[in-house]
Amino acid sequence: MKEITTVTVIGAGDMGHGIAQAALLGGLTVHLYDTADESLQRGVGKINDSLEILHRKGKIQDEEMKRCKANLHPTLDFREAVTRSPFIFEAVPEILELKQRLYRDMEAIVSKDTIFASNTSNMRITEIAKNLQHKDRVVGAHFFNPVVLMKLVEVIRGDETSDETMQVAYDLCLKMKKTPVRVEKDSPSFIVNRVNAPVRVLLGGIVDKEIAKPEEIDALMKFNGEPMGHFELSDYVGLDVLYDSGQYRQQVLHADYAPYEKLAEKVKRGDLGKKTGKGFYDWADGRPTIDVNKRTDKLKMSDIDLVKLNEAAKLIEEGVATPADIDLAMISGTGDKVGPIEKHQGINVDDAIRRLELLAERLDKEVLQPANILTDKPEAVFVLEGQR
Ligand X SMILES: NC(=O)c1ccc[n+]([C@@H]2O[C@H](COP(=O)([O-])OP(=O)(O)OC[C@H]3O[C@@H](n4cnc5c(N)ncnc54)[C@H](O)[C@@H]3O)[C@@H](O)[C@H]2O)c1
Contact residues toward ligand X (CB under 6 A) are 10-16, 33-36, 39, 91-94, 102, 119-121, 145
Q: In the complex, what is the shortest distance from the CB of residue 200 to ligand X, in angstroms, rounded to a whole number? A: 17
Terminal-to-terminal C-alpha distance of the chain = 26
Closer to ligand X at the Cβ: 92 or 201? 92
CA 192 to chain centre: 6
Closer to ligand X at the Cβ: 77 or 291? 77
Q: In the complex, what is the shortest distance from the CB of residue 166 to ligand X, in angstroms, rounded to a whole number? A: 19
Helices marked H in the chain — which ranges? Answer: 14-25, 37-56, 62-70, 78-83, 96-109, 125-128, 163-175, 192-208, 214-223, 230-237, 239-252, 261-269, 301-317, 323-333, 340-343, 349-363, 372-376
Closer to ligand X at the Cβ: 161 or 245? 245
Is residue 142 part of the annotated active site? The answer reads yes
Give all strands of the β-sheet with 72-75 in edge-to-edge order.
72-75, 29-33, 6-10, 87-90, 115-118, 138-143, 152-157, 179-183
Which of the following is catalytic: 73, 142, 230, 344?
A: 142
Q: In the complex, what is the shortest distance from the CB of residue 95 to ligand X, in angstroms, rounded to a whole number? A: 8
Closer to ligand X at the Cβ: 16 or 205? 16
User: Could you give the CA distance from residue 240 to residue 30 in angstroms, rounded to a whole number?
Assistant: 34
User: Could you give the CA distance from residue 207 to residue 211 in angstroms, rounded to a whole number?
Assistant: 6
Interhelix angle 301-317/349-363, rounded to 10 degrees, is 100
- Is residue 146 reached through a cis peptide bond, with omega within 30 degrees of 0 on the bond before it? yes
Is residue 121 part of the annotated active site? The answer reads yes
Q: In the complex, what is the shortest distance from the CB of residue 19 to ligand X, in angstroms, rounded to a whole number? A: 9
CA distances to 93, 191, 342 from 3, in Å = 29, 27, 34
Is residue 254 part of the annotated active site? The answer reads no
Closer to ligand X at the Cβ: 103 or 280? 103
Q: In the complex, what is the shortest distance from the CB of residue 36 to ligand X, in angstroms, rounded to a whole number? A: 4
At 282 the three-state DSSP class reads: strand
User: Which one, of 109, 111, 162, 122, lies nearest residue 139 by Cα?
Assistant: 162
| Nearest residue to ligand X, scored by beta-carbon proximity | 13
Is residue 193 part of the annotated active site? The answer reads yes
Closer to ligand X at the Cβ: 10 or 47? 10
Which of the following is catalytic: 107, 154, 215, 311?
A: 154
Which of the following is catalytic: 39, 48, 71, 121?
A: 121
At 73 the three-state DSSP class reads: strand
Q: In the complex, what is the shortest distance from the CB of residue 237 to ligand X, in angstroms, rounded to a whole number? A: 9
CA distances to 92, 198, 316, 344 from 377, in Å = 41, 22, 11, 15
At 29 the three-state DSSP class reads: strand
Report, as residue numbers or ranges, the catalytic residues: 121, 142, 154, 193
